[in-house]
Amino acid sequence: MSSRDDILTPGRVAVITGAAAGIGAACAQAFARLGMGLCLFDRDADALDRLSAQLGTLTEVVTVTGDVTSAEDLARLADTAFERFGDVAVLMNNAGITAGAGPWDDLAGWRHQLEVNLFSIVTAQSLFVPRMLQQDRRSAIVNLGSKEGITTPPGNAAYSVAKAGVKVLTEQLAHELRSAGGDKVSAHLFVPGYTWTPMNIALKPKGTQKPDEAWTAEQLADYFLGRLRKGDFYILCPDNVVTQEMDAKRIEWAAHDMIDNRPALSRWHPDWADKFARFMRAQD
């Protein structure tokens, strides 16, 4: 693990998918405050224009409208970034949707979920990694995971499968990059806690205020930049309820489902509820 100070530096460039709202927009602002140039991609052209007008007072911003499920659109993004700036310091594969499906329903929902949240990242990596490895300067790839892809709570199987895929894909990427270029291009798995963005706002009745347990996207972006600067691979983020210690225990419990031959997802199994609660209360 080595510091990423030379990446988060004025004049270098961050490319962000799903940049027009939520976590992507907050990270764009945070990169702009560091004096970094921005190449922003989203399917929402109007929101991209508004963000670009706002951040254009701070730094150079180029926008590309497109859909991450289109290889042609992502190729346009890569060409624009390398041709306009001649540098990509950070590629942040952030675009995502929660819409999904249960284990035996909605095949079209499954395909769309996996196309947006997982396969788009494979496509982006195929377009960016070879060119990032050719650059003289160091760079980083940040993929957006989720705790739903790590401890995999029931409720949206397709989303959990996609995000579990992002975790494995990013771990594999990190390993292959170590072999290919030393620490020239690093990979990072960015796993937000509960963050108040349009994604979560849409799940609540209209007009709902930010719940106390959620972080703002700006809070999350600041925390993320601190961890990226340190060079962390797993950037697992807390929120106002779930601490790092709670995450660690939940991950430990989930790993022991297999080690101890428990039922799948025992955390949510009625016969295991008390044992899980006692485990979470225990000090070590």
Ligand X SMILES: NC(=O)c1ccc[n+]([C@@H]2O[C@H](COP(=O)([O-])OP(=O)(O)OC[C@H]3O[C@@H](n4cnc5c(N)ncnc54)[C@H](O)[C@@H]3O)[C@@H](O)[C@H]2O)c1
Supply the residues annotated as catalytic. 159
Among residues 75, 199, 242, 251, which is the contact residue for ligand X, using CB under 6 A?
199
| Binding to ligand X, residues 165-184 (CB under 6 A) | none
For position 68 contacting ligand X by CB under 6 A, the verdict is yes
How far does CA 224 lie from the centroid of its chain?
Answer: 10
The identity of residue 162, as a single letter, is A
Contacts of ligand X in 201-260 (CB under 6 A): none
Closest approach of ligand X to the CB of residue 79, in Å: 17
Site for ligand X in 82-141 (CB under 6 A): 94-97, 116
CA atoms within 13 A on the CB side of 17: 31
Task: Provide the minimum distance between the beta carbon of 8 and ligand X in the complex, in angstroms, as a whole number.
Answer: 20
Instruction: Give least dist CB 179 to ligand X, A.
Output: 27
Q: Amino acid identity of 233?
A: F
Cβ(7)–Cβ(78) below 8 Å: no
Pairing type for strands 195-196 and 13-17 reads: unpaired
User: Stretches 75-83, 122-130, 195-203, 269-277: which one binds ligand X (CB under 6 A)?
Assistant: 195-203
Strand partners, 247: none
Q: Please report the beta strands in the chain, taking only residues with DSSP state E, as ranges in sequence order.
A: 13-17, 37-42, 61-65, 90-93, 139-144, 185-191, 195-196, 215-216, 234-236
Name which of 38 and 144 has its Cβ closer to ligand X.
144
Site for ligand X in 13-32 (CB under 6 A): 18, 20-24
Measured CA to CA, the distance from residue 115 to residue 261 in angstroms comes to 33
Instruction: Scan for tokens 């390398």, then name that residue.
Output: 82
* Identity of the residue, 211 or 263, whose beta carbon is nearer to ligand X in the bound complex: 211
Among 197, 235, 247, 253, binds ligand X (CB under 6 A): 197
Number of residues that bind ligand X (CB under 6 A): 26
Reduced to 3 states, what is the DSSP secondary structure of residue 64? strand
Q: Which is nearer to ligand X, 3 or 126 (CB)?
A: 126
Residues at the site binding ligand X, with contacts judged by CB under 6 A: 18, 20-24, 42-44, 67-69, 94-97, 116, 144, 146, 192, 194-195, 197-200
